[in-house]
Amino acid sequence: MKTNLGAAAGPSRRTAKSDSAFRTISEAAKELGLQQHVLRFWESKFPQIQPMKRAGGRRYYRPEDIEFLASIRTLLHDQGFTIKGVQKLLDQNKGKLPGEITVNASDVDQGAVAGFASSVSSNTGLNKAAVETVLGELQELQDILRASLRDIKKNP
């Protein structure tokens, strides 16, 4: 009695792709819980989505593309944004979605911060100590937000 073990054992032998591997459109659609035509449509609406295309037009999505598509899916399906709303959000944030926007502490001009604090103090009659207190609280909040963002990126 002959049995065909190859057919039965085939799918179970497959290993999952690594996180850094490129995905075909069918793999990306399955991973995101979307139809393939939705991904193609979003490519026409969001120029930031540019999968690699091989001969014959076969698409390969990078891990960054998958993350971006997942963010768009969340905005559209879970948070109730329209396509125009997401496009406007991307335009306002120079092509990045809110979770992707980062500011390095080294990019903040401390002289400008001090100048702003003294300007607010002199222009509004507020006491400099009160402005510095508020500024310190804002900087603490900024640190908390940065730490939260790091945690989110580590444990999505």
pLDDT tens column, 89-101: 888 877 777 654 4
CATH topology of domain 19-98: Multidrug-efflux Transporter Regulator; Chain: A; Domain 2 (1.10.1660)
Q: What's 81's DSSP letter?
A: -
pLDDT of residue 135: 77
First to last CA, the chain: 50
Rounded CA-CA distance 50/31 in Å is: 18
144 vs 112, higher pLDDT: 144
pLDDT of residue 16: 65
Query: Angle at CA 151, nearest 5°, toward 42 and 112?
Result: 90
Average pLDDT taken over every residue of the chain: 75
pTM of the prediction?
0.52
Q: What phi-psi label fits residue 106: left (phi over 0), alpha (psi between -120 and 50 degrees) or beta? A: alpha
pLDDT of residue 39: 93
pLDDT of residue 86: 87
pLDDT tens column, 14-59: 456 677 788 999 999 999 999 999 999 999 999 888 899 888 889 8
| DSSP string for 93-138 | TTT--GGG----GGGS-HHHHHHHHHHHHHHH---HHHHHHHHHHH
- Across the range 59-86, mean pLDDT stands at 89
